[in-house]
Amino acid sequence: MTEENIYKTIKLFIWLLGKLPTGVAQFFSDSIGILWFHSDARHRKITLKNLEQAYGKELSSDQILNLGKRVFKNIASILFEVAWSIHLDKKELMEHVTIKGIDNVKKAHEKGRGVIVVTCHMGNFELLITAIEETGFKGYAVYRKLDFKPMERLILEIRQRFGVQMIPLKGASRKIDAILKKGGVMGTLLDQNVDYYQGPFVNFFGKPACTNDGLASMALRTEAPVVPMYTARKNRKFIIEFLPELKLQKTSDRIKDIENNTQNYTSAVESMVRKYPDQYFWVHNRWKTKPYCVYPRQDTTGC
């Protein structure tokens, strides 16, 4: 089968999926989520371990188990919601979305350096892109290209259909600098594990998490204000909220500035996740990279 035929087949499947009545789609997404939870031992273990790390002092084992199941159901529902959304024009989709805090973006934009919006894999993060254009400024978002070209093509079509332009992560620095200089609003994610040479270890739910230094480097280089944003759902009604700008820390010590700003951005992500923990992407092994230690340590905060 050619790439073109594969693309058309996937697109047809997504289109048909989006025609399911809401109740039927919810039943299937919940069922798939629970089936996935019980059949995928690897991601179930990662999720429950992550939740134990984050909420072990606050929740019982049964509560963490139930939270883990809701996490899987949340992720499963993303596909059905995206499929549903492609049948709507922008006006129809926005009838299901409540956007808060746009003034935070406008205030940050007044500085004349563009705006960087930092977010995370929470709620239906695929629908976050729609909010950027609602600010009244040209929207962009950084993303990692897929190797599977038919899916890459389809995802780009869905994400860019309302005007936001997607920027491939590889080699994006100069493009981003130019976009911000022209007053664009650039969205980026900052909640995934990276290798030790790609960024500092910062505190995330009480444990060192190796975090990409790209956002901090970008902010220090361009001095573009950074505004946190998140989305959460309830019965195909979505809240998207822009939070107040995070103050940039800039001194003569660049390494320390990278660490401090990355910590501030990560703390903002944690505060967003705490609002809706069942809607976060806990299946990702956020603490995979371990801090280096010469000798074994007795506590659980290091390696």
pLDDT tens, residue order, the chain (303 aa): 899 999 999 999 999 999 999 999 999 999 999 999 999 999 999 999 999 999 999 999 999 999 999 999 999 999 999 999 999 998 999 999 999 999 999 999 999 999 999 999 999 988 777 777 788 888 999 999 999 999 999 999 999 988 889 999 888 899 999 999 999 999 999 999 999 999 999 999 999 999 999 999 999 999 999 999 999 998 789 999 999 999 999 999 999 999 999 999 999 999 999 999 999 999 999 999 998 754 455 554 555
- Domain membership of residue 296 (yes or no) is no
- Domain membership of residue 36 (yes or no) is yes
- Domain membership of residue 234 (yes or no) is yes
144 contact partners, CB below 8 Å, separation of at least 6: 168, 169
- Domain membership of residue 303 (yes or no) is no
Query: Of 221, 225, 188, 187, whose CA–CA distance to 110 is shortest?
Result: 225
> What pLDDT score was predicted for residue 64?
97
> What pLDDT score was predicted for residue 86?
93
Identify how many contiguous H helices and E strands the chain contains and give both numbers.
11, 9
Q: In sequence order, what DSSP letters do the residues of 216-247 get, joined into one string?
A: HHHHHHH---EEEEEEEEETTEEEEEEPPPBP
> What pLDDT score was predicted for residue 126?
84
> What pLDDT score was predicted for residue 303?
52
Residue with tokens 């500035």: 257
- Domain membership of residue 199 (yes or no) is yes
- CA distances to 81, 121, 192 from 14, rounded to whole Å, are 10, 21, 27
- Domain membership of residue 96 (yes or no) is yes
- Domain membership of residue 87 (yes or no) is yes
Give the pTM: 0.91
Query: Of 117, 118, 157, whose CA–CA distance to 137 is shortest?
Result: 117
- Domain membership of residue 187 (yes or no) is yes
Beta-bridge partner residues of 119: 189
Beta-bridge partner residues of 98: 239
Domain count, the chain: 1
CA–CA distance, 301 with 303 (Å, rounded to integer) = 7
Instruction: Please give the residue range of the domain that contains residue 16.
Output: 3-279
Query: Of 137, 128, 149, whose CA–CA distance to 191 is shortest?
Result: 128
